[in-house]
Structure 1
């Protein structure tokens, strides 16, 4: 059985790893929000999604979050009229990525806050350990 401080650090560490991966996926979606196919009929960039799962750690007697997988959003592509675009069909329509930038920005904000919360837990646990060491010295 592990001590509560060690378990707290492991839980926060797992959260940091998961949120880092989530931020990577959100960033990739934002970077490709206007990435179309190269030629007419090609599919554009498809939004990526991330799923998490809870894993029980026997060593720490705690549930840790981890990335279960990265998938693709099956939502339909939007279509825009751009007759001069290289990916335009014979009618001048271009398939655009199924990325909603407002949704991605909201996900980015939530991810950032979750990351900061996990970092704060780690900082506080470290401060507690340092206080314990100081008490033992006296």
Structure 2
């Protein structure tokens, strides 16, 4: 019952009930990625293309879609990675979760969150004052 209520009232904790219903009615499973996300297609969108969607494994985090699947789900390529010998390019980095709001978040030099002292002002800046 708790899982049903979570799915009913939230969208970030996984697949919503509407997506499950649409998948059951019109969805055809296309494949699955290394993170456990499952990809579907079926029906048509407003532009007449085949509708494509993903059912995330866990939280709905778009950054967990690997590059090959990203191209397919956004209609950049017609063939899903499961139907071709897709190899990631050497410049494509592996997935890292979004660290915003965690102790591992990016904090640039001089940020008050780093705990370091800010660099001293060098004198090349004159504060604006009204005339």
Confirm or deny a common fold (TM above 0.5).
Answer: no
Of Structure 1 and Structure 2, the greater strand share is in 1
TM-score under structure 1 length normalisation? 0.22
As a proportion of its length, which structure holds more helix?
1
